[in-house]
Amino acid sequence: MTSSLKITYMGPSMNPTLKAGDILKVVPYQSSKIRIGDIVVFCPAGEKQQVVHRVVSIVFRGGVKTRGDNNLNIDHRVLTADEIIGRVVSLERGKKVISVCGGNWGNLNGALLQAAKRINLVISKVLHPAYHRLARTGIFRNTLSPWVKPSILCFKRPAGTEMQLVIGRWVIGRRPAGQNLWHIRRPFRLLVDEALLTDENSI
């Protein structure tokens, strides 16, 4: 019988497939083969932190290369089987248990996410100047302010305090621990005056 373990996923590199706070069920490979498209948990030699990424290629002597679904670049190092703890087969998100596909289906899902990200980057590059000029005018912010009121939530992290900007149940922006720069999702920057996002406004 194959034993499994559960770990809590953190970080943005596998968004939107995985989200921070997901509880991942991880099954060791044992005699099973590692497949392109699998989401694996690994701990590189000499490091203590576990990483969760998708297998994108299998190279010489069974080594594998990985990439986060939210990353454009493939991880620089080749992993050996000894560094791989296991593959993710399901996740718990709130009260839901969601199966995680690997192999061909996982590879297709990863490829579609990569394509969408590259298209989004091209569109962003074209529209970026106009978007920020529009945000600076404040026209949407002033018109919708009576109905749209973001809140700031604070979370203690090892590196300090992470701040999240929310509207209802939607997280529309983050200021990572140890940083002063807000990362606000489009199109919500049109509704937010970043100069007003201070610790005093947090709840």
Q: Residue 113 domain-assigned? A: no
Averaged over 60-74, what is the pLDDT?
91
Considering only CA atoms, which of 194, 171, 189, 187 is closest in space to residue 20?
Answer: 171
Residues 80 and 18 in one domain: yes
145 and 99 within one domain: no
pLDDT in the model for residue 96: 94
Residue 110 has pLDDT above 90, yes or no: yes
Q: 179 or 7: whose pLDDT is higher?
A: 7
Does residue 171 register a pLDDT over 90? no
- In this structure, the strands spanning 39-42 and 23-27 are unpaired
Least confident of 1-5, 112-116, 151-155, 166-170: 1-5
pLDDT reading at 138 higher than 80: no
- Cα-based angle 72, 14, 43 (whole degrees, multiple of 5): 100
* Alpha-carbon span 178 to 35, nearest angstrom: 37
Determine, yes or no, domain membership for 129. Answer: no
CATH of the domain at 67: 2.10.109.10
**Strand, helix or coil at 44?**
coil
Per-residue pLDDT band for 2 (boundaries 50, 70, 90) equals: low
DSSP letters for 97-162:
EEE---HHHHHHHHHHHHHHHHHHHHHHHHHHHHHHHHHHHTHHHHHHTTT---EEEEEEETTEEE
23 and 94 within one domain: yes
The answer to whether the beta carbons of residues 68 and 10 sit under 8 Å apart is no
Q: Which pLDDT does position 203 carry in this prediction?
A: 45
| 173 and 101 part of one domain | no
User: Which domain-ending residue is among 85, 107, 129?
Assistant: 107
**Residue 100 pLDDT class (50, 70, 90 cuts):** very high
Residues 89 and 183 in one domain: no
Would you say residue 132 lies in a domain?
no
Same structural domain, 85 and 146: no
Q: What is the DSSP letter of 202?
A: B
Q: With CA atoms as reference, report the closest residue to 27 among 8, 11, 43, 41.
A: 41
Instruction: Indicate if 23 and 100 belong to the same structural domain.
Output: yes
Question: What does 65-85 look like in DSSP terms, one character per residue?
Answer: EEE-TT-SSPPSSPBPGGGEE
Report the domain count for the chain: 2
What is the DSSP code (8-state) at residue 59?
A: -
Q: Do 11 and 103 belong together in one domain?
A: yes
185 domain-assigned: yes
Percent of the chain, pLDDT > 70? 92
Domain that includes residue 21, residue range: 5-107
Half-sphere exposure of 79 (CA within 13 A, CB side): 28
Query: Which has more pLDDT, 95 or 61?
Result: 95
Mean pLDDT of 151-177: 85
Residue whose C-alpha is closest to residue 40's, from 113, 102, 96, 114? 102
Q: Which residues pair with 155 in a beta bridge?
A: 162
- Asked if residue 63 and residue 151 are part of one domain, the reply reads no
Q: What whole-number distance in Å separates Cα of residue 12 and Cα of residue 26? A: 19
Instruction: Output the CA torsion 7→67→3→95 (10° steps).
Output: 40
Q: Which pLDDT belongs to residue 135?
A: 73
Q: How confident is the model at residue 131 (pLDDT cuts 50, 70, 90)?
A: low
Segment 141-160, tens digit of pLDDT: 777 666 667 888 888 887 78
**183 with 97, same domain?**
no
Tokens of 196: 């007003």
Span 21-64, pLDDT tens digits: 999 999 999 888 999 999 999 998 888 889 999 999 999 877 99
